[in-house]
């Protein structure tokens, strides 16, 4: 149990560190402030790193969760598993698509339309953000009766991003609507890290009491 809580704390912290630049790079790539073809790597690669870190974080919730909320925890990490599997299968199975040699360096235009809107890779990127938002929403339901109000609120806040991601995918010109994700997701991860830290302290205190009951 101690090792699981430790892993949850570490990987939630790693996820929050990745999430902030991931969101910023997505916006900078969308508004074309990052030169081509580097924007393609920066648009997709952080998400590929975030997916397994977030998956491990959700799985670690299974230990400190109440029995009544375990079904929500399992649902949450199933969504995270789908997200991680999808990203690895799509991104890693198309190395040629992510290779700058596939593009026209003279004009800077795409020689490969795989990165065009509504194509597989971009659809997967949006689906990833939707799955992560749905996963945090399910986690919020799991912790609605726990004495962790800020954890519940932060997870619930990230749930608001679900419809915004859908709208921004259907209507690309409204991509800026999803920009609050840069704040809401790291904010939720911060409170997840804080939750695991508190659980770790409780466990240490409990072990100390058992080992030294008369102190």
Per-residue pLDDT of the chain (215 residues; tens, 9 = 90+): 778 888 888 999 999 888 888 777 776 766 667 665 556 666 677 888 889 999 999 988 877 666 778 888 889 989 999 999 988 887 776 544 544 445 555 555 544 444 455 566 677 878 888 898 899 989 888 888 777 788 888 888 887 888 888 887 777 777 777 778 888 888 999 999 998 898 888 877 776 666 665 55
Q: Say if CB 40 and CB 48 are below 8 A apart.
A: no
CA distances 119 to 111, 112, 115, 116, 193, Å, are: 14, 11, 7, 6, 35
- What is the structure's pLDDT at 111? 46
pTM, to two decimals = 0.78
Strands (E), the chain: none
Q: Say if CB 139 and CB 70 are below 8 A apart.
A: no
CA distances 164 to 169, 178, 194, Å, are: 9, 6, 27
Q: Say if CB 41 and CB 98 are below 8 A apart.
A: yes
């Amino acid at each position: 149990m101690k090792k699981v809580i430790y892993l949850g704390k570490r990987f939630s912290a790693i996820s929050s560190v990745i999430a902030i630049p991931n969101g910023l790079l997505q916006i900078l790539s969308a508004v074309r402030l990052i030169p081509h073809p580097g924007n393609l790597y920066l648009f997709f690669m952080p998400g590929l790193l975030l997916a397994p870190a977030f998956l491990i974080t959700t799985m670690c919730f299974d230990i400190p969760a109440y029995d009544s909320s375990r079904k929500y925890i399992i649902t949450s990490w199933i969504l995270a598993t789908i997200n991680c599997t999808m990203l690895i299968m799509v991104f890693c199975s198309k190395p040629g698509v992510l290779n700058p040699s596939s593009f026209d360096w003279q004009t800077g235009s795409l020689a490969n339309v795989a990165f065009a809107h509504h194509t597989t890779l971009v659809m997967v990127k949006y689906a990833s953000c939707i799955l992560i938002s749905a996963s945090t929403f399910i986690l919020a339901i799991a912790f609605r009766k726990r004495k962790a109000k800020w954890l519940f609120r932060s997870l619930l806040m990230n749930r608001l991003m679900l419809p915004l991601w859908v709208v921004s995918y259907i209507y690309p010109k409204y991509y800026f609507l999803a920009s609050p994700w840069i704040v809401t997701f790291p904010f939720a991860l911060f409170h997840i890290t804080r939750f695991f830290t508190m659980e770790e302290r409780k466990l240490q205190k409990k072990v100390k009491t058992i080992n030294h009951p008369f102190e």
